[in-house]
């Protein structure tokens, strides 16, 4: 059970579109999806938690929302939009659920404004990518090269072809890709093309050092649930230190791959429900 919603944000000039549960009982819970996904990724959770006060948005440049109003699409641009959304909705305190890139953004929101986040759920993600000073310089150079020379999104002859491409790109089931494509594909001359901002496929700008990421993690005061995927655990060298940095974190590993909240929805939803309620 869900209903479509539109949010107009006057400060950033953005329009965000998304979905929410119609009941709206309890603490507002904002769901943030992963890279190239959209709010449909939380559809399976909505089906199993329709009594909770859940809102999922297409982040800027994804799904049906406006592109981010910045040339560089930095994480902090997204964080500002998320905080403006909460402000405009009058959410003094709210829960956050974030998957992948959405988990990185949720980490930053909870670390930069810990007084606003009452509970934090991270799905196969903990903090944004970090870099040394030289790695950061190179990432900006690569992004700007793509920005000046980038191409429009490709066109596919059929919807099924686009679904197959999306499934291969993310390593997900075609049924999962079908859910995500519903908000991210439009008919164009010659076939179908993506709605998402083509800049999302440019090299990522790594704007944070690892110490800066750890400072955000240490500042989180919300009880935190980290759900990791059994088939794709967080294995980067930085992850153990990040997990240890969060003051009140509980970790659960469940069967599935990176999109386990869609492909193992029953178990993930049950764990989240217990944590939030």
- In angstroms, rounded to a whole number, what is the distance separating the alpha carbons of residues 67 and 199? 9
Q: Which two tokens stand for residue 79?
A: 């964080």
Check: CB of residue 35 under 8 Å from CB of residue 101. yes
> Which class in CATH covers the domain with range 3-133+206-276?
alpha beta
* Cβ neighbourhood burial of 251 (10 Å; 0-12, 13-18, 19+): middle
Span 130-164, pLDDT tens digits: 999 999 999 999 999 999 998 999 999 999 999 99
| pLDDT, the chain, mean | 96
For the segment 240-253, the average pLDDT, to the nearest whole number, is 97
CB burial readout 17-27, b (16+ within 10 A) else e: bbbbbeeeeee
Residue 267 has pLDDT above 70, yes or no: yes
Higher pLDDT, 23 or 247: 247
DSSP category for residue 15: E
Q: What is the pLDDT of residue 233?
A: 64
Span 101-118, pLDDT tens digits: 999 999 999 999 999 999
* Domain-wise residue ranges, the chain: 3-133+206-276
Q: How many residues does the chain have?
A: 277
Q: What pTM was computed for the model?
A: 0.97
Span 54-75, pLDDT tens digits: 999 999 999 999 999 999 999 9
Q: What is the pLDDT of residue 1?
A: 75
Residue 232 has pLDDT above 80, yes or no: no
Residue 231 has pLDDT above 70, yes or no: yes
Span 33-42, pLDDT tens digits: 999 999 999 9
Q: What is the pLDDT of residue 23?
A: 81
Check: CB of residue 252 under 8 Å from CB of residue 226. yes
For the segment 236-264, the average pLDDT, to the nearest whole number, is 95
Residue 24 has pLDDT above 80, yes or no: no
């Amino acid at each position: 059970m869900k209903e479509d919603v539109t949010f107009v944000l006057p400060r950033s000039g953005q329009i965000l579109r998304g979905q929410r549960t119609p009941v709206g009982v309890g603490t507002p819970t904002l769901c943030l999806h992963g890279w190239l996904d959209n709010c449909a990724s939380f559809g399976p959770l909505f089906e199993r938690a329709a009594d909770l006060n859940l809102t999922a948005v297409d982040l800027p440049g994804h799904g049906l929302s406006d592109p981010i109003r910045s040339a560089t699409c930095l994480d902090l641009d997204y964080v500002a939009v998320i905080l403006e959304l909460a402000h405009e909705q009058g959410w003094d305190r709210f829960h956050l659920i974030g998957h992948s890139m959405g988990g990185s953004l949720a980490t930053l929101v909870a670390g930069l404004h810990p007084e606003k986040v009452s509970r934090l759920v991270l799905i196969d993600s903990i903090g944004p990518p970090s870099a040394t000073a030289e790695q950061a310089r190179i990432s900006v150079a690569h992004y700007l090269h793509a920005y000046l020379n980038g191409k429009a999104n490709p066109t596919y002859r059929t919807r099924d072809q686009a679904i197959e491409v999306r499934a291969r790109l993310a390593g997900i089931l075609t049924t999962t890709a079908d859910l995500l494509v519903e908000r991210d594909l439009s008919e164009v001359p010659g076939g179908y093309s993506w709605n998402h901002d083509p800049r999302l496929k440019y090299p990522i700008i790594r704007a944070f050092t690892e110490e800066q990421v750890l400072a955000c993690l240490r500042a989180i005061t919300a009880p935190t649930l980290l759900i990791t995927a059994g088939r794709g655990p967080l294995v980067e060298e930085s992850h153990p230190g990040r997990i240890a940095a969060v003051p009140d974190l509980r970790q659960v590993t469940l069967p599935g791959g990176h999109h386990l909240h869609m492909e193992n929805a029953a178990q993930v939803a049950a764990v989240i429900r217990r944590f939030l309620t």
